[in-house]
């Protein structure tokens, strides 16, 4: 691997004085800085296997060099990220893009990089070569029972792969929907989806969760069968205690109040997982925090408040994952930026003066409420995040070290300048 402990140590030594000065500055104003740093150090965000290659749009894809060519190289890339930031300690696989050939080998490779296997993801939004029946008109909601059965069996197969790797959750995202009014009977489509999910739910091991992801539109442009949190929540409630809603930040209509959705799902005990990204218009795959960092902070503010209210451990209480693809940037640099943005928003939420906020809310002191939140948002918490990385063995400046140690150059040297990663 192009990054090793010695490189990180030397890099951290060079940055130590400046870092210490900034850290002392913020620590002087915070009573519980050490507790916050501990929480940050424990926090990990899974990396999806499809985010490691260059993404594209429906108009084209401009691939970069040194992209991972197989699952082993994808694991190596996540290992690299984790070595740099110590906050990317899990990989989420998409089946069939990443079917492991030998479970034991893949597991031991991941263990070498101290990586766990996060939720496994099924794929019934594309037809695969040799597939008997098409998903053109949907999968779990399809009018034809045989297509539904094929999709159910695929999901059960994905669970089997996950069990071998030690995953504990299946994420189901469906492209099922309609693009023209009248195409679909909404009620029947929803019922059929529920019946299909029941079959999948029955195949879940006792210690597994089923995460139901919703998306407002795309690829369907008129209706999506699991299109919003209400639809996902209804399904999760009807399925049972192992079923949860998964919130993907990019899957809402513009200006949706995601922080309120998160608060209510947590209150109902039905928020199971999270996909981070950002968007301005419709693309659901931009770098987390690149467009609306204040919204990301407000979401984390509700997450922290809601998880504390339920006594959930921040690091393990929910499934955290990045879900993005990158058109222009080096995917590894982009992922480092995403993780950093998430950690910053989490740290800002941790520095909110919660006691004062509750008081101000009780007194309807609207001005004070805003002051309290913005005080936290405008605090430069980056030294806390850097310190958490430092104590966990990561680099003070992950992107800086990625560049100075020429990681991409070394990956291109080994994998070639024009590689095509599988996936999106």
Q: How far is the CB of 320 from ligand RM4 (least distance, A)?
A: 13
Neighbour-count burial of 350, counting CB atoms closer than 10 A to its CB (0-12 exposed, 13-18 middle, 19+ buried): buried
Our CB check for ligand RM4 shows the closer of 12 and 123 to be 123
Q: Which of 73, 77, 323, 387 binds Mn ion (CB under 5 A)?
A: 323
CA geometry: angle 377, 343, 16, nearest 5 deg = 100
Among 275, 326, 389, 415, binds ligand RM4 (CB under 6 A): 275
Alpha-carbon distance of 79 to 302, in angstroms, equals 30
Q: Which of 67, 77, 118, 248 binds ligand RM4 (CB under 6 A)?
A: 248
Residue 121 interacting entry, from ligand RM4, Mn ion, none, C-beta within 5 to 8 Å by type: ligand RM4
67, 76, 98, 248: which one binds Mn ion (CB under 5 A): 248
Q: According to the binding rule CB under 5 A, does residue 118 interact with Mn ion?
A: no
Residue 307, preceding peptide bond in cis (omega within 30° of 0):
no
Binder of ligand RM4 out of 98, 213, 305, 334 (CB under 6 A):
213
Residue 175 or residue 390: which is nearer to Mn ion going by CB?
175
Q: Which is nearer to ligand RM4, 49 or 301 (CB)?
A: 49
Binders of ligand RM4 in range 38-57 (CB under 6 A): 50
Q: How far is the CB of 241 from ligand RM4 (least distance, A)?
A: 23
Burial class of 252 by CB neighbour count within 10 A (0 to 12, 13 to 18, 19+): buried
Q: Which residue has the closest beta carbon to ligand RM4?
A: 173
Site string for ligand RM4, 282-321 (x = CB under 6 A): --x-------------------------------------
Contacting residues for 136 by C-beta, under 8 A, at least 6 apart: 127
Q: Which is nearer to ligand RM4, 67 or 213 (CB)?
A: 213
Instruction: Give the other-Cβ count within 10 Å of 306's Cβ.
Output: 20
* Closer of 53 and 66 to Mn ion (Cβ): 53
Question: Minimum Å distance from CB 97 to ligand RM4?
Answer: 9
Residues 268-287 close enough to bind Mn ion by CB under 5 A: 275, 284
- What are the residues facing 170 on neighbouring strands? 120, 210
Helix, strand, or coil (residue 319): strand
Q: Measured between alpha carbons, how far is residue 371 from residues 343, 352, 365 in Å?
A: 22, 10, 10
Q: What sign for the dihedral angle of Cα 122, 128, 134, 135? A: positive
Q: Which of ligand RM4, Mn ion, none is residue 50 near (CB under 5 to 8 Å by kind)?
A: ligand RM4
Structure tokens at 79: 């290992």
Dihedral angle, C-alpha 134, 125, 180, 187, nearest 10 °:
90
Q: Are strands 243-248 and 223-224 parallel, antiparallel or unpaired?
A: unpaired
Residues that bind ligand RM4 (CB under 6 A): 50, 94, 121, 173, 213, 215, 248, 275, 284, 323, 424
Binding region for Mn ion (CB under 5 A): 248, 275, 284, 323
């Amino acid at each position: 691997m192009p990054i090793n402990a010695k490189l990180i140590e030397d890099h951290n030594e060079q940055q130590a004085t400046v870092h210490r000065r900034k850290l002392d500055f913020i620590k002087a104003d915070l009573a519980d800085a050490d507790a916050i740093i501990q929480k940050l150090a424990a926090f990990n965000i899974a990396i999806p296997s499809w985010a490691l290659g260059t993404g594209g749009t429906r108009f084209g894809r401009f691939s970069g060099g040194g992209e991972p060519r197989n699952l082993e190289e994808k694991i190596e890339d996540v290992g690299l990220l984790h070595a740099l930031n110590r906050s990317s300690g899990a990989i989420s696989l998409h089946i069939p893009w990443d079917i492991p050939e030998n479970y034991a080998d893949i597991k031991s490779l991941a263990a070498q990089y101290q990586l766990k296997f996060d939720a496994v993801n099924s794929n019934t939004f594309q037809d695969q070569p040799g597939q008997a029946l098409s998903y053109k008109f949907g999968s779990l909601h399809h009018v034809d029972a045989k297509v539904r059965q094929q999709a159910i069996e695929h999901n059960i197969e994905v669970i089997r792969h996950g069990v071998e790797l030690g995953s504990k959750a299946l994420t189901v995202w469906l492209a099922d929907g309609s693009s023209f009014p009248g195409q679909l009977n909404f009620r029947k489509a929803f019922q059929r989806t529920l019946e299909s999910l029941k079959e999948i739910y029955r195949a879940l091991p006792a210690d597994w969760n089923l995460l139901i992801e919703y998306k407002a539109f795309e690829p369907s442009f008129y209706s999506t069968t699991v299109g919003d949190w209400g639809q996902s929540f209804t399904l999760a409630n009807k399925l049972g205690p192992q079923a949860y809603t998964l919130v993907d930040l990019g899957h809402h209509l513009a200006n949706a109040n995601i922080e309120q959705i998160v608060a209510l799902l947590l209150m109902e005990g039905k928020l199971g997982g999270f996909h981070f990204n950002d968007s301005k218009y419709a693309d659901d795959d931009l770098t987390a925090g690149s467009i609306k960092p204040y919204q990301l902070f407000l979401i984390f503010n509700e997450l922290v408040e809601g998880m504390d209210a339920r006594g959930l451990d921040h690091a393990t209480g929910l499934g955290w994952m990045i879900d993005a693809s990158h058109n222009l940037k080096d995917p590894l640099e982009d992922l480092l930026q995403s993780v950093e943005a998430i950690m910053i928003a989490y740290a800002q939420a941790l520095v909110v003066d919660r006691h004062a906020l509750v008081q101000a809310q009780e007194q309807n002191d609207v001005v004070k409420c805003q002051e309290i939140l913005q005080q936290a948002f405008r605090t430069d918490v980056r030294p806390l995040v850097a310190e958490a990385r430092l104590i966990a063995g990561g680099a003070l400046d992950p992107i800086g070290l990625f560049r100075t140690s020429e990681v991409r150059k070394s990956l291109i040297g080994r994998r070639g300048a024009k590689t095509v990663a599988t996936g999106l």
